[in-house]
Structure 1
Amino acid sequence: MTTRLMTMAGRLDALTDEHRDKLMALAEEVDFPAGTRIFEERGKADRFWFLRDGEVALQLHVPGRPAAAIETLGQGSLLGWSWLFPPRRWHMSAKALSDVRAWEFDAAAVRRLCEEDPAFGYVFVLACAEVIGHRLEDARTRLLDLYGPHGSGLPH
C-alpha cells in the first residue's frame, strides 16, 4: 500500500497567525503507544488529531473479511474528520502502528471557533475537505485493489 502524507500544515498556511494561535490554544499533547486502537469505526467522533510523530493505519471493516488497511498516515497528517458532520461517527478505525505523538483537539471547541470566526472556519474546513476527498479516493482505490475483479479478496 502506498503511504501518502497529507500534511495539514501546508493546507493551513492560509490561516493568519492569529487564527493558528486560536487553534493551537485548543491543542493538547497526547501519546499513543504502538498497537493502540485510537478510535473504532462507528464510534463517537468527538475529537481529532494532528500527528507529530509516528504512523497510524486507517482501517475499514468489510463484512465477512479481515479489516482492510486503507491508508497509513504519518507526521503532519490530520487524523479524523468525521467530527465535522452529523451523525459524528467514525467512518473508519485507526490503529497506531508505532509510538505516536499528536496534538489532540476537542471537536466541539473547534466547531465553535469555526462558527465564531467564519474566516477561520472557511479556511479550516476547506483544508479538511481536501483531506476528506483524498481519503475517499484512497479508500475506493484500495478496496478495488483488494476486492475488485482482479483482487484476491485478501489484504496484501
Structure 2
Amino acid sequence: MTSATAMTTALSTEHRDRLMGLAREVSFDAGTRLFEEGRHADRFWIIRTGTVALDLHVPGRRPAVIESIGRGELVGWSWHFPPFTWHLGAEAMSPVRAWEFDAEAVRAVCAENPEFGRAIAVWVGRVVAQRLHASRVRLLDLYAPYGSGGLT
C-alpha cells in the first residue's frame, strides 16, 4: 500500500470521519468471494485485518491474482463509476475484518458535499491508477515472454 492510496493519508480527518460515519463492521472467512468480475458493484470495504486477493478472469485458466491487499486498503472502486460493475474479482485469503460501505449512501453524501466528493474521487482515482499499474505488471509477469522485465 502506498501512502497515496491509504485512506488515513488520502483523506483529511474531517472527510475520513464523515466517511467512517457510514461504515459498518463485517468479517469474512478465508475463501469467501467478496465479489465477482462483471457483477453489480453496490458496496466497498476498507480492510481492518487480513488479506484480500484481487483477481482477473482469464478464459480457459484459473483467475489470475493481480494483487493482494491488506490493512487500511480500499477493496473495490467500481462502485464509484457508472455503470457500477466490478472490473475484478476479490477473495479473502485469510480471515478478514473490514469496514463495509453502501455505495449509494456514499455517492449521495458525495453529491451533497462537493468538497467531500472531490476528496473521495481523488482517493479512488489514485487507487484505480495503482491497481492498473499492478495489473499491467502482473499480466506481463504471467503472459509476456520475458515477464515485466523489472518494470515498476
Query: Normalized against structure 1, the TM-score is what?
Result: 0.88
| Structure-2 residue corresponding to 1:79 | 75
Equivalent of 1:145 in 134, 141, 150: 141
SS in 2 for 1:105: strand
Q: For residue 41 of structure 2, what is the amino acid of its counterpart?
A: A
Moved more, 128-137 or 60-69: 60-69
SS in 1 for 2:31: coil
| Structure-2 residue corresponding to 1:118 | 114
Q: For residue 61 of structure 2, what is the amino acid of its counterpart?
A: R
- Per the TM alignment, residue 106 of structure 1 is displaced from its structure 2 partner at its CA by 0.3
- Number of aligned positions between the proteins: 145
In the alignment, the residues of structure 2 paired with residue 138 and residue 43 of structure 1 have an alpha-carbon distance, to the nearest angstrom, of: 22
Give % identity: 57
SS in 2 for 1:26: coil
| Structure-2 residue corresponding to 1:97 | 93
Query: Normalized against structure 2, the TM-score is what?
Result: 0.91
**Two-structure CA RMSD over aligned residues (Å):** 1.3
- Per the TM alignment, residue 30 of structure 1 is displaced from its structure 2 partner at its CA by 0.2
For the 8 Å contact 1:7–1:75, the answer to whether it is kept is: no
Q: How far does the alpha carbon of each residue in 1:75-118 deviate from its partner, in whole angstroms, 9 at most, with x for none? A: 00000000111111101100000000000000001001111000
- Per the TM alignment, residue 22 of structure 1 is displaced from its structure 2 partner at its CA by 2.2
Corresponding position: 1:133 with 2:132:
no
